[in-house]
Chains A and B, each alone.
Chain A
Amino acid sequence: MSALLNISNVTKNYGLKTALHDVSFSLEQGRILGLMGPNGSGKTTLLKILSGVQHPASGEVTIDGKKVGVETKSMVSFLPDVNPLFSWMKADDAIDFYKDFFADFDRVKCYELLDFMKLNRTQKVRSMSKGMIEKLNLSLVFARKARLFLLDEPLGGVDPVARERIVSTIIKTYSEDSSIIISTHLVHDVETIFDDICMINEGEIILQGSAEDLRSEHAMSIDQLYIKMFADKI
């Protein structure tokens, strides 16, 4: 398998604060990576850099061999940790928006995902609950045939039923041609779908490897390993 994503020595500062320090890893095509760490550890910053929303201070990121920029934005489907949709939009307007800007967006697939999520296409975003907005955004993101999916806290603040649907959607959408990075605190709900794990703390990677290897090496689940790694750090 070839590496779809390569991150080499990436550093990012916000003023005097270092958000990421010398981060390097790669992700092969067809893999699902769990990006874990406490609040403020640099997960969101890393995903913003991969999506092209921010630039690193130093280091290099390539996706399918191309430096992050306008070209890679057409390959990356990003679900941020906040609702990015305009409040005037209905679900249908959001679908039109994605169709207008992303050539790989599949309208029919989006309708299927919305049906699966039990969402009404004519409902306004401003009248939706947090869980509904999360499901709508996830449907939009996964209706693209992107090479790299970046999901920032997709399970945060949603009820267990919605969470279950979101996880099912991730599994349904998974394909050998694309890779997925999921940043989450709720390790227990998703750990079974991870192929690879990357734990990050204060902007530095403290543990990474294949989920299966880490489980057998430490003789515990990823959830337990996460608690062990961060128990004295939070």
Chain B
Amino acid sequence: MKAVIRQQWKARYKTALMLCGIISLVSLSVIVTGQGSRLFENNSSILKYWLSIAFAAVYLGVPLYTLTSVITTIKNMVFKDTKYLMLTVPKKSWELIGGRLLVILGELIAYAVVMLFWLSILFASESGGMISFENQVYSSQAAGFFVRLGEIYSIVFVKHIVETIQIIPMALIGAVFIMMVFSFSLTLFASIFRHKQFPRVLSLILVYIMFDLSVRLMALIFNGYEVNTVSALWAPAGIIALLASVLFAGTCVLFEKRIEG
């Protein structure tokens, strides 16, 4: 799988670096212009208007783009000429698909780290922006930037470390589940229509339907549990992890038996 990961990384690292740069640029613009806490307030100036659009587009768009890039990756493997290159290499389908999805997951983690880093700077640089964050931070807004920054990190990594180390894998499970829904839907579509003429846009409609069903299913699973604490989330998260594994296995089986078949 190492070779698959290395090649996938080579294919994507330039985009990943560029997106990290864009996240940093937009975040810095917000921090430097001192618009952090007032970004989404009314009576916006033109600068605030564009900054808020850029901020929302980057902070929502980049993770969304990364998750949907699973669609592009799987599409290339099942529909494009480049599939020959991947199908002729002496690797099992779980290595080919798993390696590629792992790189995308790694990218997602990298963007999350960069975003959270800039958000911490944003909160620390704008005391007003911390009002809703935690009472402890609010109490120290009179202090300097580094004191406030230190407090943010101590809340996340000291005071709430137990919650933090639980939320990270749960967020990863959620991301993996969405990636698996995308991969499975596309592979299923390619399996059914692999030798037929069809408008490719149909595959995206199937992905959308599967995604919609999955979100409803996730909501149903979470509704079945009383979630008062972070640790209570483990039961529904476990079910979602299991579903993600089933979808991954399904994708690999379809890929091996139907796409190659």
A residues within 8 Å of B by Cβ?
14-15, 51-55, 70-71, 73-74, 76, 78, 80, 82-86, 88, 93, 96-97, 100-102
Q: Quick one: which of A53, A80, A101 contacts B90, CB cutoff 8 A?
A: A101
B92 interface hit (Cβ, 8 Å): yes
Choose one: B7, B87, B90; the contact of A97 (CB below 8 Å).
B7
Q: How far is the CB of B231 from chain A (nearest CB, A)?
A: 42
CB-defined A-B contacts under 8 Å, sample of 27: A15-B196, A51-B87, A52-B87, A52-B260, A53-B260, A55-B257, A55-B260, A70-B90, A73-B88, A74-B90, A80-B81, A82-B84, A83-B81, A84-B81, A84-B82, A84-B84, A84-B85, A85-B82, A85-B85, A86-B76, A86-B85, A96-B7, A96-B10, A100-B6, A100-B7, A101-B90, A101-B91
Q: Known: A53-B84, A73-B90, A86-B82. Contact between A100 and B3, CB under 8 A?
A: yes
| Chain A residues whose CB sits within 8 angstroms of the CB of B90 once the complex forms | 70-71, 73-74, 101-102
Q: Is the CB of A78 within 8 A of B11?
A: no
Complex CA distance for A55 and B259, rounded to whole angstroms: 9
| B218-261 interface bits toward A, Cβ cutoff 8 Å, 1 = contact, 0 = none | 00000000000000000000000000000000000000010011
Docked-complex contact A93 and B10, CB < 8 angstroms: yes
Chain B residues within CB distance 8 Å of chain A: 3, 6-7, 10-11, 76, 81-85, 87-92, 195-196, 257, 260-261
Find A86's partner among B11, B87, B92, B195 (CB 8 Å cutoff). Answer: B11
Pick the most buried of B10, B85, B88, B91: most chain A CB atoms within 10 A of its CB.
B88
CB distance from B10 to the nearest CB of A (A): 7
Separation of A84 and B83 alpha carbons in the complex (Å): 7
CA distance A86 to B76 in the complex (A): 9
Given known contacts A71-B90, A88-B11, A102-B90, is B260 in contact with A97 (CB within 8 Å)?
Answer: no
Residue of A nearest to B86 (CB): A84
Given contacts A86-B11, A93-B10, A96-B10, contact A53 B85 (CB under 8 A): no
Decide: A78 and B195 in contact? CB cutoff 8 A: no
- In the complex, A199→B7 CA distance in Å? 39
Tell me, rounded to whole Å, the shortest Cβ–Cβ distance linking B254 to chain A.
13
Name the contact of B261 in the complex, choosing from A55, A74, A76, A96 (C-beta under 8 A). A55
Task: Give chain B residues whose Cβ lies under 8 Å from the Cβ of A100.
Answer: 3, 6-7
- Distance in Å: Cβ of A91 to nearest Cβ of chain B: 14
Given A88-B11, A96-B10, A100-B7, decide whether A70 and B92 contact each other with a Cβ distance below 8 A.
yes
Task: Give every chain A residue within 8 A of B83 (Cβ-Cβ).
Answer: 53, 84
A14 contacts across to B, CB distance below 8 A: 195
Give Cα A137–Cα B213 distance, bound, in whole angstroms: 43
Among B7, B76, B91, max chain A CB count under 10 A is at B7
Docked-complex contact B88 and A76, CB < 8 angstroms: yes
A53 to B87, CA, bound (A): 6
| Smallest CB gap from A88: residue in B | B11
Q: Do A54 and B81 form a contact, CB below 8 Å, given A14-B195, A70-B91, A101-B91? A: no
The answer, among A71, A80, A93, for a CB contact under 8 Å with B84, is A80
Instruction: Identify which of A85, A86, A88, A102 contacts B89 (C-beta below 8 A).
Output: A102
Shortest C-beta distance, A208 to chain B (Å), equals 25
B66 to chain A, nearest CB (A): 17
Interface centre among B81, B85, B261 (most CB of A within 10 A): B85
